[in-house]
Chain A
Amino acid sequence: MQAEQREATATVLPSANGHASSPEARRLVRIEPPTGWQFVNWREVLEYKDLLQTQVHRGVTVAYKQTVLGFGWAIIGPVFSMIVFTVIFGNLANVPSDGVPYALFSYTALLPWQYFSGALSGTTNSLVSNRNIFTKVYFPRLILPLVPLGTGLVGFGISFGVLVVLMIWYAVVPTVWVVFLPVLIFILMLTALGSGLWLSSLALQYRDVGRIVGMASRLLMYAAPVVWPVSLIAEKLPEHYETIRIFYGLYPMAGVIEGFRAALLGTVPMPWDLIGMGTITALVLTITGAFYFRRTEHLFADVA
């Protein structure tokens, strides 16, 4: 069989004289050349949850240590973008904002967007930047692309606090759909994870991928309804609106961002169609990504 068609395997079998479940168990590990396609081993990831935790902790501390403002940067980043967008798109270009102040309109979108772009570049680089670790020690490699998803949540939480302040300032009352926010955040994380599984492995093999993602990320922001509302499509292309909307929904950030606005600002009804289509993409990305990651995993130490 060709090595190319093999997949990393290290089967853990309970030994004849012990139980795999007891902590004292002596487990028999069999290490073989990789064979076939396999799904990621989530149980093993759970065994290493403390590693995930300390790595997330590390990511957060390092990001904010040795800066004067510390966590203040998590506030300044999105607020700065909000001001720029409000001046350029809200005031100068007069982009419509579904009837709420443009600042609030764009900030609500920036919240999930900043998380996504941060997690995307974080996961893409997760293997490349940690190659000095995983070439020296064994642990489930899947931990690495998961870390940026966790660290991003801290910034997200802080920025969310700012949104609450903004909403009070503008006296905007959220709709009952705020209870649906955790689901939207989950779809958001799933999208970042799915892309990250593909991109982290590819970026390790071909370093160009990291740069491409950096550039594409800017493009993706304008493709997402961050600075403009989806209703703009209806306005500009009324005859094809229904079809475009279905296909546009395949971009998960469309459903997530419009969903955030629907839940928090009530500008539009909950965009179930966009969210549904986006979830399909996110799931497909994550499942195929998991297979691809697992299949290339055994090469990581060799090509790093």
Chain B
Amino acid sequence: MARPAIRVENLGKRYRIGVEEEQHETLLGAMGSWFTAPISNYRRLRDLSHFEDDENRDDVLWALRDVSFEIHPGEVVGFIGRNGAGKSTLLKLLSRIAYPTTGHIELVGRVSSLLEVGTGFHQELTGRENVFLNGTILGMTKAEVASKFDEIVEFSGVGKFIDTPVKRYSSGMKVRLGFAVAAHLEPDILIVDEVLAVGDIAFKKKCLGKMDEVSKSGRTVLYVSHEMSTVTNLCQRAYVLSGGQIVHQGPVQEAVEWYLDDMEVLDRDNLRLDEVDENERGGDGRLRFTSAYLVDRRGRHTHAPTAGEPVEVVLEYEAQEDLPRVMFWLRIDNHLNVPVSVLHMRSHETYYDIQKGTGRVRCRIPNLPLPNGAYQIKIKAKDYVQGHMLDALESALEFEVSASTFFGSDYTPDINHSTVLMEHGWTHEEHIDASVSPS
């Protein structure tokens, strides 16, 4: 029975968060506090590290609570969750930057954590000096850095800039150099926290490729990101964190869907379109969208439709008066704000006669042709009798395609290479006769 690479039991981390400052109404009160401030400031600073008082004070935050899991050597595991869910805290405990309040962790082998790219870079020093600085901070010896130096420079692509002070680098170049150093560590366990958000697409791909390579060579990788497509590409399993606890775990596809659905449930209560500020919407207001959402094949609300499956965009509205001949349309933009497609009722030469009150419009896409990635939908309604815009919302709905059955095979081109998925077929003939082929 192989020993797990990482075993975590009942892990908990408690933080003291900011205590509210007192407010003073009078000058005298303010002056008094000026003298007592050192005492209260001292208490406040001291409290950051001392917890002997009441355990349940409201300025105490359990950033992690009762987290247990096991990860085996060679596994690539994702951790996903909303902002403040405790992902970074967990990675900090695993990499010994911060210490747990309860529970324990057992790790086998050398751990490298990449919570930031290029830690310890100094602006005034050259790329070369910084490679050594960063490499030794990450736990390499000088000899190790020296032996990999050429590869590092090669990988980073900064080339002849290597002897230039880092302050003259573009921010992308710094990231490249930093990642190149980290990529040449040889840890048994690699911990990565959202470091690829910066850097251009080509480099991001290179990094993901490198991490894939690391995992293929039998090392364990822990990966945190808000980009679901990289999580699904890279990881086999994922844990969903919420409020410092593991709320779901499973194969990556399922965990990501669970998380996105969960987020959708939370969002639906928070973001209703009828609460969108009047300044942020167009139109004359005789009709107002009240809600917009996606519904999947099984009729469930979703934020993560699957490419190749049917999906419906549902728009709910409230009309202030009877409106004959209203046309709806929507525009799908991708993560680069490139319009992917407009779905317009005019293309169908149709319109709806709308009566005062509420209603719902559905737009069905039988076979969602989008590569994995994040998208936004703009929605509009126009009165074609008077030619007036009724309502227009720039960002009514966001969704993320994270899986594809479009071609029914395991290869779907990704968003860096395609904007839409196009149905197509291939044929092949042999021994062609030039005289017959069309000229």
Give residues in A with beta carbon < 8 Å to B. Answer: 2-4, 8, 10, 15, 26-34, 48, 50-51, 53-55, 57-58, 61-62, 65-66, 132-139, 205-206, 296, 298-299, 301-303
Find chain A residues with CB under 8 A from B46 CB. 205
Q: Find out whether the CB atom of A58 lies under 8 angstroms from the CB atom of B125.
A: yes
CA distance A93 to B52 in the complex (A): 56
Q: Find out whether the CB atom of A139 lies under 8 angstroms from the CB atom of B105.
A: no
**Knowing A26-B108, A62-B122, A136-B97 touch, does A206 contact B115 (C-beta < 8 A)?**
no
B106 within 8 A of A: yes
Looking at B49, B92, B93, B116, the one whose CB has the most chain A CB atoms below 10 A away is B49
* Interface hit among B134-142, B226-234, B297-305, B341-349: B134-142
CA distance A58 to B136 in the complex (A): 12
Find chain B residues with CB under 8 A from A28 CB. 106-108
CA distance A296 to B49 in the complex (A): 9
Q: A29-B105, A135-B92, A205-B48 are in contact. List 16 more A-B contacts (CB 8 A).
A: A4-B50, A26-B109, A31-B99, A33-B100, A33-B101, A51-B136, A51-B137, A61-B129, A133-B137, A136-B113, A137-B119, A138-B96, A138-B113, A139-B139, A298-B98, A302-B49
Q: Find out whether the CB atom of B137 lies under 8 angstroms from the CB atom of A15.
A: no
Find chain A residues with CB under 8 A from B125 CB. 58, 61-62, 65
Find chain A residues with CB under 8 A from B14 CB. 3
Q: Find out whether the CB atom of B100 lies under 8 angstroms from the CB atom of A301.
A: no
Q: For chain A, what secondary structure do more than half of its interface residues adopt (helix, strand, loop), or is it mixed? A: mixed
Q: Find out whether the CB atom of B42 lies under 8 angstroms from the CB atom of A31.
A: no
Q: Find out whether the CB atom of A30 lies under 8 angstroms from the CB atom of B136.
A: no
Find chain A residues with CB under 8 A from B74 CB. none
Q: Find out whether the CB atom of A58 lies under 8 angstroms from the CB atom of B133.
A: yes
Find chain A residues with CB under 8 A from B133 CB. 54-55, 58
- Choose from B52, B93, B101, B119 the contact partner of A132 (Cβ within 8 Å): B119
B124 within 8 A of A: yes
Min distance, Cβ A269 to any Cβ of chain B, angstroms: 45
Find chain A residues with CB under 8 A from B124 CB. 61-62, 65-66
**Knowing A2-B51, A53-B142, A302-B48 touch, does A31 contact B122 (C-beta < 8 A)?**
no
Closest 9 CB pairs of A and B: A298-B99, A138-B96, A31-B105, A51-B136, A301-B98, A299-B49, A50-B142, A136-B116, A32-B104
Find chain B residues with CB under 8 A from A26 CB. 108-109, 188
B19 within 8 A of A: no
**Knowing A26-B188, A30-B106, A302-B48 touch, does A54 contact B132 (C-beta < 8 A)?**
yes
**Knowing A4-B50, A30-B104 touch, does A133 contact B95 (C-beta < 8 A)?**
no
B198 within 8 A of A: no
Find chain B residues with CB under 8 A from A66 CB. 124
Q: Find out whether the CB atom of B108 lies under 8 angstroms from the CB atom of A205.
A: no
Looking at B50, B92, B99, B109, the one whose CB has the most chain A CB atoms below 10 A away is B99
Min distance, Cβ B422 to any Cβ of chain A, angstroms: 44
B102 within 8 A of A: yes
Q: Find out whether the CB atom of A3 lies under 8 angstroms from the CB atom of B101.
A: yes
Q: Find out whether the CB atom of B115 lies under 8 angstroms from the CB atom of A27.
A: no
Nearest B residue (CB) for A34:
B99
Find chain B residues with CB under 8 A from A134 CB. 97
Find chain A residues with CB under 8 A from B140 CB. 50
CA distance A57 to B419 in the complex (A): 50
Nearest A residue (CB) for B117:
A136
Find chain B residues with CB under 8 A from A27 CB. 108-110
- Choose from B51, B97, B106, B108 the contact partner of A4 (Cβ within 8 Å): B51
- Choose from B42, B102, B106 the contact partner of A206 (Cβ within 8 Å): B42
Q: Find out whether the CB atom of A2 lies under 8 angstroms from the CB atom of B52.
A: yes
Find chain A residues with CB under 8 A from B137 CB. 51, 133, 137, 139
- Choose from B52, B93, B136 the contact partner of A31 (Cβ within 8 Å): B93
CA distance A30 to B136 in the complex (A): 23
Q: List 16 A-B contacts (CB under 8 A).
A: A3-B14, A4-B50, A15-B3, A29-B107, A30-B105, A54-B136, A54-B142, A55-B133, A66-B124, A132-B119, A137-B119, A137-B137, A139-B137, A205-B48, A301-B92, A302-B15
B45 within 8 A of A: yes
Q: Find out whether the CB atom of A137 lies under 8 angstroms from the CB atom of B97.
A: yes
Nearest B residue (CB) for A8:
B99
Find chain B residues with CB under 8 A from A136 CB. 97, 113, 115-116, 119
Find chain B residues with CB under 8 A from A34 CB. 99
Min distance, Cβ A31 to any Cβ of chain B, angstroms: 4
**Knowing A136-B116, A205-B45, A301-B92 touch, does A4 contact B52 (C-beta < 8 A)?**
yes
Min distance, Cβ A191 to any Cβ of chain B, angstroms: 27
Q: Find out whether the CB atom of A15 lies under 8 angstroms from the CB atom of B116.
A: no
Nearest B residue (CB) for A15:
B108
Q: Find out whether the CB atom of A31 lies under 8 angstroms from the CB atom of B107.
A: yes
B120 within 8 A of A: yes
Nearest B residue (CB) for A133:
B120
B241 within 8 A of A: no
Q: Find out whether the CB atom of B100 lies under 8 angstroms from the CB atom of A29.
A: no
B111 within 8 A of A: yes
CA distance A296 to B120 in the complex (A): 23
Nearest A residue (CB) for B102:
A33
Find chain B residues with CB under 8 A from A32 CB. 100, 104-105
- Choose from B48, B110, B119 the contact partner of A303 (Cβ within 8 Å): B48
Looking at A30, A55, A132, A136, the one whose CB has the most chain B CB atoms below 10 A away is A136
Q: Find out whether the CB atom of A31 lies under 8 angstroms from the CB atom of B100.
A: yes
CA distance A302 to B52 in the complex (A): 17
